[in-house]
Amino acid sequence: MREQTTNSSVEAAYDDYLMPIWKSLNVPVERASGCTLEDFDGNEYLDVFSGISVTNVGHNNEAVVEAATEQLEEFVHGCSYVHPNRPVADLAETIAEVTPGDLQKTFFCNSGTEAVEGAIKLARKYTGSKEVISLEMGFHGRTLGSLALTGNRAYKQDMAPTINDVAHTAPPYAYRCPRCEGDTCGADCADALERVIGSHTSGDLAAVVVEPVMGEAGIVVPSEAWLKRVRDIAHDHGALLIADEVQTGYGRTGELFATEHFGVEPDILTQAKGIANGLPLGAFTAPADIADAFGSGDHLSTFGGNPVACAAALATIEELQNGIIDNARENGEWLSAELATLESDYDVVGEARGLGLMQGIELVDPETTGPQHVAPAPDKELAAAVGEHLREESNVVMGVGGYYKNVMRFQPPLTISQAQLGEAVDALRAALDDLT
């Protein structure tokens, strides 16, 4: 008879049998519902991180579970690129309807990094060019192609060389921009892309890849002028704009896709994370003329477009459109005001920023000047201590991230109530009171 499972026994098994890459928030999960996690020792936690921005319609959402279960009872796998099936066809049609602009045809894969890799391949095939530019501090995945696009040495340590023909341009990180010093990064800042094309490429540009809100960089939000200028420069050089909406998509920012905030229609849109509310699924979508650059055999995935995951994604989209995106938008506005108050009340809160329910506060040392002599220095030690305080003292799970590892990240299930958000904000305030 197997001994009773506890938090410590699960973590011990991870240590013994999983490769040593896992990071612990000290909250093993036995079950979850809505915005609540429960560990094996019976402790309950308010989840404002949702598995890194994944369970957008709430943990164990009834409609999603029902849709997946119904498909499980029909069939699980037949390779959707060999055996056409209804869930895949229906989801592809739905994505064509709900994505911005004339995006029409989708390739399904299993994860965000696969979606980015596939989007790069498609851009190269369509344009006939090879070079790609992404943003410093950005994150696009951990396989070698998407890792090359990722603008953060921490993810690349001991992993080089990645793919060639990748360059990086400055992000719209206004809080730490030497030109803007806290003001909005506008079109003038985006012109740095022209310099990078002129000095770091051979002029054979296939794509520029951007996150419409930079998640792992620390919830960095561009201006509309900046993003439009980046698109225009890409097009001027015959390249495509790839919007990486893996983290920002499916209602996270208060719109179904974050690019809708900026009036920018991407040439290719990558998706994953919230698309199927936790079931493994990724996708990239393009207009028909771009998508049709792929021929038979140019790309494939054994498990991509799994019918169970696609059935779950269809239910997820319906749930989002049935009031959950509205909830994200309305509660996001409330949360933004609350975090702005924290910025005003605490010297260690350098900046509050975000869209919808993708928000963050940057923690700083107000006595020390930061990188490039712009803004106070990042305080990653304080951020780590605040995250631990939230878990240990208030049973709140909150992400800690950012390029400098000093940003507290609010990315809860979009079903969260204002009262629950208030609980998280109060816990954050208590942590700052106790630790500063």
Q: CA–CA separation, 222 vs 184, rounded Å? A: 8
The pLDDT tens digits of the residues spanning 376-391 come to 999 999 999 999 999 9
The pLDDT tens digits of the residues spanning 233-243 come to 999 999 999 99
Look at the alpha carbons of 152, 153, 154, 155 in this order and tell me if their dihedral is positive or negative: positive
pLDDT tens digits for the chain (436 residues)?
457 899 999 999 999 999 998 777 889 999 999 999 999 999 999 999 999 999 999 999 999 999 999 999 999 999 999 999 999 999 999 999 999 999 999 999 999 999 999 999 999 999 999 999 999 999 999 999 999 999 999 998 888 878 889 999 999 999 999 888 668 899 999 999 999 999 999 999 999 999 999 999 999 999 999 999 999 999 999 999 999 999 999 999 999 999 999 999 999 999 999 999 999 999 999 999 999 999 999 999 999 999 999 999 999 999 999 999 999 999 999 999 999 999 999 999 999 999 999 999 999 999 999 998 999 999 999 999 999 999 999 999 999 999 999 999 999 999 999 999 999 999 999 999 999 9
Q: How many CA atoms lie within 13 A of 417 on its CB side?
A: 6
Side chain identity at 158, as an amino acid letter? D
Under DSSP, is residue 332 helix (H, G, I), strand (E, B) or coil? Answer: helix
What region, left, alpha or beta, does residue 305 occupy, with left being phi > 0 and alpha being psi -120 to 50 degrees? left
**DSSP H helical ranges for 73-176:** 86-98, 112-127, 144-149, 153-156
Whether the predicted model's global pTM rises above the 0.85 cut: yes
The length of the chain in residues reads 436
- Residue environment code for 339-366, b if the CB has 16+ CB neighbours within 10 A, otherwise e: beebbeebebbbbbbbbbbbbbbbbbbe
Question: Parallel, antiparallel, or unpaired for β 36-38 and 31-33?
Answer: antiparallel
Closest among 316, 263, 315, 290 to 100, alpha carbons compared: 263
* CATH numbers and ranges of domains, the chain: 7-60+323-434 (3.90.1150.10), 63-322 (3.40.640.10)
Question: Parallel, antiparallel, or unpaired for β 105-109 and 282-286?
Answer: antiparallel
